Structure 1
Amino acid sequence: MKQKRNITEGIRKFNVPLVLGVIFVVWIIVTFWQEGQYRTTIEALTSISPEQVTKFRIYPRVGVPVDTSIEFMLHDSIIADFFQALTDQRSYSYSHDTVASRDHSWFLEIIAGELFIQISFHIPHDNDNIVAGMLGKFTKNSTTSYGHFQSRQLYQWYQRYSHRWLTPEGTPPAPSP
């Protein structure tokens, strides 16, 4: 009985600030790891030449990969423009903002050699002249985010090229036979 009392007293004496400190340190470590993953991936992505890209897969009107996608064989200059637009990216404080419309969200997978990159994009409802992106690993059931960013140049890229995967009504074009 005495041993049980000692354990209970030990738990009561456990220092709450110590627990908060440990949680804070873990949060800092996770934040730095995510930032490192984000920076490493962006640097790798912006150093790719269009000739290295084997897949440039776009999923229109969704924020996560789905079973059906539209794969585009885009001209190298369009892919080069995409990578150039990424150099303009700045940090973005994602606050569960709403998408301007479902037509203005898309998901992109890029495969270049061993590099497999997934980015979820949308045009925010409250700022419709930027593109907000979330870099991470996505499945149907979970998302691991490395970081959020925004880009005006990427918005210009979207305005210039989105007609290739969206019809005027905003629906994906019918597949070619």
Structure 2
Amino acid sequence: MTTATVQPTVVERAWQVASEVTDPELPMLTLADLGVLRDVRQDDDGEIVVAITPTYSGCPAMATMRDDLVRRLQEAGFTSARVSVQLSPPWTSDWISESGRKALSDNGISPPGKAPRGPVRLQLMPTRRVIQCPQCGSDDTEVTSEFGSTACKALYRCLVCGEPFDHVKEI
């Protein structure tokens, strides 16, 4: 008795390639782990169309994500590929996968907590979060700046071990 090998569809292969592309600002995360990879489909002309959602409006990494996706798909043999931006529903930090959260922590970046739901009260002071230090695990931390190495991260310092670290903001 022989068993037939099931070949992945064109879209499944394209999804696999797209899901391995890393984020230019958080290279320990794939776009799939970050939750910005929303869809991969093939249009009527055979073109592969990848939909991504920015982490926030005006994210400067979107052009690099697009270029990296198209290049990787073309290298994998998909001669016609393009990227579309999907704004609805808006990205939320809740879309970061568990493996993505672990990768952030393993690389010294505090992963986000649960994103706020419903109306968000406007405040002019930094958001007070209970953040655990990715180095020593202490939650005795303080915000140094609401903007870290990228606009979607805040800079914190651990008051126990003294180490500075980025925290991915809850969005």
Q: Structure 1 length as normaliser, TM-score? A: 0.26
Name the structure where strand makes up a greater proportion of residues: 1
**For the pair shown, which has the larger CA radius of gyration, 1 or 2?**
1
Higher RCO, Cα 8 Å, sep 6+? 1
Name the structure where helix makes up a greater proportion of residues: 1
